[in-house]
Structure formats: C-alpha cells, structure tokens
Amino acid sequence: AVGRRLSERLFNGQTDLYLDYNLVPTVVFTHPPVATIGLTEKAALEEYGEDQVKIYRSSFTPMYFALGEYRQKCDMKLICVGKEEKIVGLHGIGIGVDEMLQGFAVAIKMGATKADFDNTVAIHPTGSEEFVTMR
C-alpha cells in the first residue's frame, strides 16, 4: 500500500494520496509471533494518567496446543482510555496474533471502543475471540 500510494503520487499526479502513519500495525514474525498497534501500557499511563486508563488482559492456551504435551500460551492486552474506553492499544503474543491484527487495526484506526468490541459476536473457537470477550 505504501509503495503504491507513493508511485501514484509521484508519477500519476494524484498528489493527495498520503497514508496516515498514526496507528501503524506492527508484527514480528517470530515463534511465537508478536502483534501490536497503538500505545503501550506505559505510554498510555504517561499520556492519559492512571485514572483514565483501563487495561484488559487475557492469557490462554490456544486450541492448536490444547491436546499436546507442549502448551504454548497466548497473551493479549487491550489498552483503553476515558469513560468511553476508546481502544488506544492492542497487543498480543502467541500463535495467530500475526494474522488477526489487520482487522483489529482497522477497527482501532476508526476509533473503536471496548463497547464496540463487546458488541461484536465472537468467532468461536478462535484466538481472536479473546479480544472481543475480555472482561
């Protein structure tokens, strides 16, 4: 997307085609993968203050590992701010988080709140359902 936008802007006269580099989703393709978008917990606390930040966490064993002897955990975190609990950070480590981040990134760029996630029907059984069922 970045290269295409740049070439359209430079060579096809579409001078208004800029990407918003705020809230860039980032994935580290390791084993287990790491996925992140937005503020870290520390950055949110520094920017908004402890009384405005609410952290939701989940730690579970994905079904991929449920029956074997090796049980790799998956950890997920939502960082929300304000009374409306706007999501300003989403982070995960574990199998599948690399693939699920793109959809959540769109929602967060659009200003999703914890209530928006809560009102989303979870796809079961998947790891991504953890982000929409956190309490």
Q: Which residues are catalytic?
A: 124
Helix, strand, coil abundance in the chain, percent, nearest 5: 35, 25, 40
Q: Judging by beta carbons within 10 Å of its beta carbon (0-12, 13-18, 19+), is residue 105 exposed, middle or buried?
A: buried
- The Cα 100–Cα 31 span in angstroms is 16
The residue with tokens 């928006």 is: 116
* Cis-peptide, bond into residue 25, ω within 30° of zero: no
